[in-house]
Amino acid sequence: MIFVQFQVSRSLERSHSPIATVAWMIIFGDGVHNFIDGLSIGAAFSESILTGISVSIAVLCEEFPHELVRKILISLFPTIKIRDN
């Protein structure tokens, strides 16, 4: 049996913080959400053009407020800092 030892660089150890973990969780969750939206739009277009357009408009109406609030919060609070307890 061969054992492989992995060494983590010190720069990775220093950059590990709760903020980075939360950021990765948000990015991953948003990516999965957008992927599922794309699958639903593709499935709707494979059914018919009218259904595809309807689902596309529904997804657009669902995403627009979400992205708008995100942009507003980022512009209002560009340097939010979270303290470690």
Model confidence over 9-56: pLDDT tens digits?
445 555 556 667 777 888 898 899 999 999 999 999 999 999 999 999
Q: How far apart are CA 36 and CA 23, in angstroms?
A: 20
Q: How far apart are CA 27 and CA 21, in angstroms?
A: 10
What is the per-residue pLDDT for 72? 82
Question: Which amino acid, 14?
Answer: R
Torsion region of 26: left, alpha or beta (phi above 0 gives left; psi -120 to 50 gives alpha): alpha
Q: 3-state DSSP: the chain helix, strand, coil percent, rounded to 5?
A: 75, 0, 25
**pLDDT tens digits for range 51-81:** 999 999 999 999 998 888 878 877 777 666 5
Which residue is listed with tokens 């948000």? Answer: 26
